[in-house]
Chain A
């Protein structure tokens, strides 16, 4: 049997009219990408700076004061408090007033002098007995990101501290060249990823709610007595949201370019192709939810149930490769994971969508299976 374009179009225009009258939803379509882009673009920063720390200076020497200043100059930490003893410092750490404590021992001057990198103690002490760190950090290790940042201070060069040319300046083992985001700006990675997050959120939520609402308000009871077919209802309902999705992508990438200087290196055609594919996959996921949920509360709950792992496992914030294998398999199931690779590939690495066939096929397959499942389940609910 042929699909009736007229009937699909009837549902489509009805949906648009309803959307136009639903000020709140209409506002959210624009506000969600706008506000979240500003929020995440400015707020999320994986280069941690200005961690509040305290110091217990047991040496009270000129060198210890210079040491504190030198560490401050790196901007990694900010010395906020001075403590007389370790006990009070630990209490402050417990209360989260500070995140780490620097303990400078009474013999810091001697330790610096004998440290191999300063080159004073000749020959440079190299055996375990004499080669000792100059001071100690006590760190609030609960937050692994902060702990890692403080740890990075371990090999801070001491040359500036004593303002002499070091005798044996260490040569790095590796030369590191950073591609695609040489300035290491977090926004460059966050903004394209944000498209995946916002589309997942709005597309799944809108479609799942749109059909459940129809059932909740009794409209479906009327529709099923008419000649319209379930696939026509579903197509008519999701097409408006495809346009909405595209509008949201334009807002995010446009503002990302203007505010955060995020480049769009790939071709717009590739960008459109992957975005439409991802929108389609998300919409069918929403449709499947709508055939299971009995009311809008349930559909919202299910959306969040899908949304959270989609976001957290997608590689948006935490690298996919860092997850255990089982979690990687689960992540593969979510369209957002594939889209994250696609959008970062196209926007940042100038890939064409034809270079990313695995993710493209996967999203296409997901859409087809989703549509089939939704159609089948949808029919059942009529009987």
Chain B
């Protein structure tokens, strides 16, 4: 084990802030991303995920705060960092009117990879990401999933130590999303550190560690299990009829954080200051205890609790 903090973390940021006029896009953010791990930014649209990533890649100069990425101080050493990181943008940003192969050749040249080395690396990527048969297809005519695989291939072409992915799966179906995450874990296994932003719970749950962001502020961070275990709430599921009415009734209680309907069930989050949540619900409604179940909190519950004030 190496105890030096320089080699242990891929990213360390302290007191990171970015203000655009009066708007605090990111406010006093502290994060530490360990090497060879997948770190997630979970948050609604507009919470500052992209701004945070842009500062951590050196594209944006923070208003205040310290950043060290792969042992380089930002934004001073941003140019040096470029060769060591890969960045997959939210929107597909390769050329639609170039073929898969032409796109990869272009990126290779930008990173100074030429000749047989280039050919070998591109062949390798085409087979890893299942694009062998698509080599001569225009990027613009491919499906969302294929385009996203191409984007990942391009972002990892120069074998970066650290990979930034900004909402990588927003245009992809669940099947392709699962496959994509398998590929991320493969990269992680080979020693690549990954920082990914998302607004999907199932994706966030796959991360080794994650930070929940809202309005530019970090509301919570830790492993998904820690976040769920440390939640200061009980989660009760109610099976009953006339759930809409029941929801309106329960939501009035100060102990109830939120209630949301899932088909024939109502999922109610209750503050853990209440000792007997099942008894509490039974008391405040005319529903029998046999219809009430205490269940394990999900990441969505964590998210709703952390960001609860502004979301119903």
Stretch at the interface among B77-85, B119-127, B183-191, B201-209: B77-85
Interface centre among A9, A17, A220 (most CB of B within 10 A): A17
Q: Which residues of B contact A221 (CB under 8 A)?
A: 89, 91, 93
Give a binary string over A204-234; 1 marks a CB under 8 Å from any B CB, 0 the rest: 0000000000000111111111111000000
Complexed CA–CA distance, A228 and B82 (Å): 9
CB of B228, distance to nearest CB on chain A (Å): 34
Q: Which residues of A contact B92 (CB under 8 A)?
A: 218
Q: Which residues of B contact A227 (CB under 8 A)?
A: 79, 82-83, 110-112
Say yes or no for B94: interface residue by CB 8 A criterion: yes
Interface centre among A18, A21, A224 (most CB of B within 10 A): A224
Given A17-B102, A382-B59: A225 and B91 interface contact (C-beta under 8 Å): no
Complexed CA–CA distance, A32 and B72 (Å): 52
Say yes or no for A7: interface residue by CB 8 A criterion: yes
Q: Which residues of A contact B109 (CB under 8 A)?
A: 6-7, 9-10
Complex contact A21–B97 (CB within 8 A)? yes
* Interface residue from A6, A9, A14 paired with B95 (Cβ < 8 Å): A14
CB of B19, distance to nearest CB on chain A (Å): 14
Complexed CA–CA distance, A223 and B97 (Å): 16
Report the contact-size class of chain A (Cβ under 8 Å from the partner): 20 to 34
Complex contact A6–B112 (CB within 8 A)? yes
Give a binary string over B97-111; 1 marks a CB under 8 Å from any A CB, 0 the rest: 110001000110111
Q: Which residues of A contact B102 (CB under 8 A)?
A: 14, 17
Interface residues of B in 33-74 (CB under 8 A from A): 57, 59-61
Complexed CA–CA distance, A226 and B109 (Å): 11
* Interface residue from A6, A7, A18, A228 paired with B97 (Cβ < 8 Å): A18
CB of B279, distance to nearest CB on chain A (Å): 55
Complexed CA–CA distance, A367 and B252 (Å): 70
Say yes or no for B87: interface residue by CB 8 A criterion: yes
Complexed CA–CA distance, A263 and B117 (Å): 53
Q: Which residues of B contact A219 (CB under 8 A)?
A: 93-95
CB of A195, distance to nearest CB on chain B (Å): 30
Q: Which residues of B contact A322 (CB under 8 A)?
A: none
Q: Which residues of B contact A14 (CB under 8 A)?
A: 95, 98, 102, 106
Q: Which residues of A contact B85 (CB under 8 A)?
A: 225
Interface centre among B61, B97, B114 (most CB of A within 10 A): B97
* Interface residue from B57, B89, B96, B110 paired with A10 (Cβ < 8 Å): B110
CB of A24, distance to nearest CB on chain B (Å): 12
Say yes or no for A383: interface residue by CB 8 A criterion: yes
Say yes or no for A127: interface residue by CB 8 A criterion: no
Complex contact A224–B97 (CB within 8 A)? no
Complex contact A226–B107 (CB within 8 A)? yes
CB of A156, distance to nearest CB on chain B (Å): 64
Complex contact B106–A6 (CB within 8 A)? no
Complex contact A225–B57 (CB within 8 A)? yes
Q: Which residue of B lies closest to A229 (CB)?
A: B79
Q: Which residue of B lies closest to A19 (CB)?
A: B97
* Interface residue from B87, B96, B111, B114 paired with A222 (Cβ < 8 Å): B87
Q: Which residue of A lies closest to B87 (CB)?
A: A225
Complexed CA–CA distance, A222 and B91 (Å): 9
CB of A27, distance to nearest CB on chain B (Å): 16
Q: Which residue of B lies closest to A214 (CB)?
A: B95
Complexed CA–CA distance, A224 and B92 (Å): 14
Complexed CA–CA distance, A217 and B83 (Å): 24
Give a binary string over A179-221; 1 marks a CB under 8 Å from any B CB, 0 the rest: 0000000000000000000000000000000000000011111
Complexed CA–CA distance, A24 and B89 (Å): 30
Q: Which residues of B contact A13 (CB under 8 A)?
A: 106
Say yes or no for A45: interface residue by CB 8 A criterion: no
Say yes or no for A128: interface residue by CB 8 A criterion: no
Complexed CA–CA distance, A218 and B243 (Å): 46
Complex contact A222–B60 (CB within 8 A)? no
Q: Which residues of A contact B83 (CB under 8 A)?
A: 227
CB of B286, distance to nearest CB on chain A (Å): 56
CB of A239, distance to nearest CB on chain B (Å): 15
Say yes or no for A4: interface residue by CB 8 A criterion: yes
Complex contact B82–A225 (CB within 8 A)? yes
Say yes or no for A22: interface residue by CB 8 A criterion: yes
Q: Which residues of A contact B57 (CB under 8 A)?
A: 225
Q: 25 A-B residue contacts at CB 8 Å?
A: A6-B109, A6-B112, A7-B109, A7-B112, A10-B106, A10-B110, A14-B98, A14-B106, A17-B102, A18-B97, A18-B98, A22-B97, A217-B95, A217-B96, A219-B93, A219-B94, A219-B95, A222-B89, A225-B59, A225-B85, A225-B87, A225-B89, A226-B111, A227-B110, A383-B60
Q: Which 5 A-B pairs have the closest CB atoms?
A: A10-B109, A222-B93, A225-B87, A218-B93, A227-B82
For the complex with contacts A219-B94, A226-B110, A383-B61, 7 further pairs of A-B residues with Cβ separation under 8 Å are A18-B98, A217-B93, A217-B95, A225-B82, A227-B82, A227-B111, A382-B59
